[in-house]
Chain A
Amino acid sequence: MSEHIDRIRDIAQRLLAEGRVDMIVGFRKGTLPMMNEPCFIKTPTAVDQLVWDSHCGINLANYLVDRSETIGVIAKGCDSRNIVTHIIENKVDRDKIVIIGVPCHGMVDKRKIQSLADAEIEAVAEQKDQLVVTAGGNEMTVPKKDVLQENCRVCIHRNPVIYDELAGERTEEQSDVDRYADVHEIEALSPDEKWHFFEDLLAPCIRCYACRNACPLCYCPTCFVDESRPQWVGKGQDPTDVRTFHFLRAFHCAGRCTDCGACERACPVGINMRVFTKKLEKDCFEQYGWEAGLTLDERPPLDTYRLEDPQDFIK
Chain B
Amino acid sequence: MQNPYLPYPVRIDDIRIATEDKSLKTFKFVFLDPDDEDRFAFRAGQFAELSIPGVGEIPIGIASSPVEKGFVTFTVFRSGVVTTHLHNMKIGDIMGIRGPLGNSYPWDLLAGKNILIVGGGFAFTTLRSSIVYMLDPANRPKFGDIDVVYGARTPGMLLYKDELVAWEKRSDINMHLTIDAPAEGWQYNVGFTPPITEQKAPQGDENTYAIVCGPPVMIKFTLPVLEKLGYAHDHIIMSLENRMKCGFGMCGRCGIGKELVCKDGPVFTLDQINHTPREY
User: Touch between A and B in complex, CB under 8 Å?
Assistant: yes
Report how far A37 CA is from B80 CA in the complex, Å.
Answer: 39
Residue A229, interface by CB 8 Å? yes
B84 and chain A: residue at smallest CB distance: A229
Report how far A222 CA is from B80 CA in the complex, Å.
Answer: 15
Residue A228, interface by CB 8 Å? yes
Residue B81, interface by CB 8 Å? yes
Q: Return chain B residues, CB-CB under 8 Å to A231.
A: 81
Q: Mark B74-87, 1 if CB is under 8 A from A, else 0.
A: 00000011000000
Q: Mark B52-94, 1 if CB is under 8 A from A, else 0.
A: 0000000000000000000000000000110000000000000
Q: Return chain B residues, CB-CB under 8 Å to A229.
A: 80-81
A228 and chain B: residue at smallest CB distance: B81
Report how far A177 CA is from B81 CA in the complex, Å.
Answer: 51
A230 and chain B: residue at smallest CB distance: B81
Q: Return chain A residues, CB-CB under 8 Å to B81.
A: 228-229, 231
Q: Mark A187-229, 1 if CB is under 8 A from B, else 0.
A: 0000000000000000000000000000000000000000011
Q: Return chain B residues, CB-CB under 8 Å to A228.
A: 80-81
Q: Closest CB of chain B to A234's CB: distance in Å?
A: 13
Q: Closest CB of chain B to A93's CB: distance in Å?
A: 31
CB neighbors of B among A221-259 (8 A): 228-229, 231
Q: Closest CB of chain A to B82's CB: distance in Å?
A: 10
Report how far A228 CA is from B243 CA in the complex, Å.
Answer: 15
Q: Closest CB of chain B to A155's CB: distance in Å?
A: 42
Report how far A228 CA is from B84 CA in the complex, Å.
Answer: 12
Q: Mark A80-117, 1 if CB is under 8 A from B, else 0.
A: 00000000000000000000000000000000000000
Report how far A229 CA is from B80 CA in the complex, Å.
Answer: 8
Report how far A231 CA is from B82 CA in the complex, Å.
Answer: 12
Report how far A231 CA is from B54 CA in the complex, Å.
Answer: 12
Report how far A228 CA is from B82 CA in the complex, Å.
Answer: 10
Q: Mark B176-219, 1 if CB is under 8 A from A, else 0.
A: 00000000000000000000000000000000000000000000
Q: Closest CB of chain B to A235's CB: distance in Å?
A: 12
A231 and chain B: residue at smallest CB distance: B81
Q: Return chain A residues, CB-CB under 8 Å to B80.
A: 228-229
A229 and chain B: residue at smallest CB distance: B81
Report how far A231 CA is from B80 CA in the complex, Å.
Answer: 12
Report how far A229 CA is from B79 CA in the complex, Å.
Answer: 11
Q: Closest CB of chain B to A11's CB: distance in Å?
A: 39
Report how far A231 CA is from B56 CA in the complex, Å.
Answer: 12
Report how far A228 CA is from B81 CA in the complex, Å.
Answer: 7
B82 and chain A: residue at smallest CB distance: A228
Report how far A91 CA is from B80 CA in the complex, Å.
Answer: 29
Q: Closest CB of chain A to B5's CB: distance in Å?
A: 16
Q: Mark B144-167, 1 if CB is under 8 A from A, else 0.
A: 000000000000000000000000
Report how far A231 CA is from B85 CA in the complex, Å.
Answer: 14
B81 and chain A: residue at smallest CB distance: A228
Q: Closest CB of chain A to B57's CB: distance in Å?
A: 13
Report how far A228 CA is from B55 CA in the complex, Å.
Answer: 11
Q: Closest CB of chain B to A302's CB: distance in Å?
A: 30
Report how far A173 CA is from B81 CA in the complex, Å.
Answer: 52
Report how far A84 CA is from B80 CA in the complex, Å.
Answer: 37
Q: Closest CB of chain A to B165's CB: distance in Å?
A: 38
Report how far A229 CA is from B78 CA in the complex, Å.
Answer: 14
CB neighbors of A among B72-125 (8 A): 80-81
B56 and chain A: residue at smallest CB distance: A228
Report how far A231 CA is from B81 CA in the complex, Å.
Answer: 10
Q: Closest CB of chain A to B273's CB: distance in Å?
A: 29
Q: Closest CB of chain A to B223's CB: distance in Å?
A: 31
Q: Closest CB of chain A to B241's CB: distance in Å?
A: 18
A-B contact pairs, 5 of them (CB 8 A): A228-B80, A228-B81, A229-B80, A229-B81, A231-B81
- Pairs of residues from A and B, 4 with the lowest C-beta to C-beta distance, nearest first: A228-B81, A229-B81, A228-B80, A229-B80
